[in-house]
Amino acid sequence: MSLASLLAAVEARYDIGPIVASRPLEGGEWKTLYRIEAARGAFVVSLTHPLAVTEGVAWEHAFLHHVSSRLPVVPAPIASVAGNTFFMHDGHIVSLLPFMPGEIVDAEHIRLPAAQLLAQFHTVSLAYPGHASRPGIPSLRVWDWHSNHAWHWPDVDALLCSTPDTAPRFWHEGGAYTAQIVARRVQIAEGRAHCERWVAQLASSKRPLAHGVIHDDFYKRNLLVRDGRITALLDWDGCHPDWLMMDLSNAAWAFCDRDDEHTLDVDAARSFVESYLDAGGPIQCSELDLLVPFIRFRRVLETLSGLQNVVNGEQWDEGFGEYELHTLLALENLRDLTLHV
């Protein structure tokens, strides 16, 4: 895609004046981002992943306008002169967003403010009047665990049964990590089967679990920080209605894992959850027994989707291989862990 043609298309559709500068932005693993400088200020041009569907993007944008009006750290897509919040260009869905100040940081001091922000977001989410499912991203309780938007199990299983001759990129570019991942093929298959049973049992249990729109990727790289304060919550590609515990458990892991030991820092996670509850987070204490099971559940999901990405030709190297193995080791180490809040 020509960047010049993309910027010309943006300039023609939005009332922002001439674009005088542009540069790529980091982040946005599932999209391509550019910061642009125009006569009327700084903006971000966002190109979605090719797998995104227009109906899902329209759903996301409607939700973001609801959230942004109540939680200003969430940027809402800008409407074009014609009133649209996205357009198609060279096979990609393109949106324009306000540029949000701040930087991605990996600092421990934002852990508790992040928990408080998640509580605020969940409160706003529960007030959203649109309860329809998001096109293209179903809630967990209706997933097809054989084939869904994130993976196709026969493809993943075939990859795990491959050899350096049949899948050279997987084996060669993943380095020594590939063999260690493949050695856990049975564990991965059993994890998928367990998750399917566990979700079905949880859905049929009739437990009164908090349910609303979740962010689904609430972690450090999707937060911007300035002067110790969170200034933006970004990357809403995966937001959809689901159990709120999906968000809380994923965030607790993202902010409180002991990366070098492939496990959870229990004291940090307890403080994270307490900060969430103290800030008015709508998840009830009666649900907290599910925190670690949901963390383990997410490790299975990340393993399967990560391997599917290899099949799909997405980036794969030793860094990704190391993360995939870290995810599997965490799944093992969390088996007998409990967290009391």
- Is 151 part of a structural domain of the chain? yes
Geometric angle at alpha carbon 290, from 254 and 331, rounded to 5°: 55
The answer to whether position 103 is within a domain reads no
pLDDT of residue 29: 64
Q: For residue 87, give the 3-state DSSP assignment.
A: strand
3-state secondary structure of 257: strand
CATH of the domain at 117: 3.90.1200.10
State residue 191's pLDDT score: 96
128 shares a domain with 146:
yes
- Report whether 225 contacts 103 (CB < 8 A): yes
Per-residue pLDDT, 102 = 94
Q: Identify the sign of the CA torsion 185, 145, 335, 265.
A: positive
pTM here is 0.95
Which pLDDT does position 195 carry in this prediction?
A: 96
Q: How many angstroms separate the CA atoms of 233 and 125, rounded?
A: 14
pLDDT the model gives residue 124: 97
Q: How many helices, marked H, and strands, marked E, lie in the chain?
A: 11, 11
Total number of domains constituting the chain: 2
Residues 86 and 176 in one domain: no
Helix (H, G, I), strand (E, B) or coil at 21: strand
**Looking up tokens 């196709």, which residue turns up?**
152
DSSP secondary structure string, 90-141?
TTEEEEEEEPPP-B----GGGHHHHHHHHHHHHHHHHT-S--SPBTTB--GG
Does residue 341 fall inside a structural domain? no
Q: 261 with 174, same domain? A: yes
Domain boundary among 51, 68, 98: 98
The domain boundary, picked from 98, 130, 150, lies at 98
Q: How high is the pLDDT of residue 96?
A: 98
CATH number of the domain that residue 69 is part of: 3.30.200.20
**H-helix or E-strand spanning residue 222:** none
| Residue 232 placed within a domain | yes
Helical packing angle, 266-278 and 245-256, nearest 10°: 130
**pLDDT per position in the chain (341 positions), as tens?**
689 999 999 999 999 999 999 999 876 567 899 999 999 999 999 998 777 899 999 999 999 999 999 999 999 999 999 999 999 999 899 999 999 999 998 878 999 999 999 999 999 999 999 778 999 999 998 999 999 989 999 999 999 999 999 999 999 999 999 999 999 999 999 999 999 999 999 999 989 999 999 999 999 999 999 998 999 999 999 999 999 999 999 999 999 999 889 999 999 999 999 999 999 999 999 999 999 999 999 999 999 999 999 999 998 999 999 999 999 999 999 998 888 78
Say if CB 326 and CB 257 are below 8 A apart.
no
Looking up tokens 């093929």, which residue turns up? 185
Q: Is 194 helix (H, G, I), strand (E, B) or coil?
A: helix
Q: Residue 340 has what pLDDT?
A: 77
Q: How far is it, in rounded angstroms, from Cα 29 to Cα 20?
A: 26
Q: Are residues 227 and 304 in the same domain?
A: yes
Cross-strand partners of 46: 33, 95
User: Does residue 30 share a domain with residue 170?
Assistant: no
For residue 327, what pLDDT is reported? 96
Is residue 58 a part of any domain in this protein? yes
**pLDDT recorded at residue 30:** 72
Using CA atoms, how far apart are residues 219 and 333, in angstroms rounded to an integer? 21
**Full domain range(s) for residue 27:** 3-98
Which one of 67, 98, 129 terminates a domain? 98
Residues 51 and 189 in one domain: no
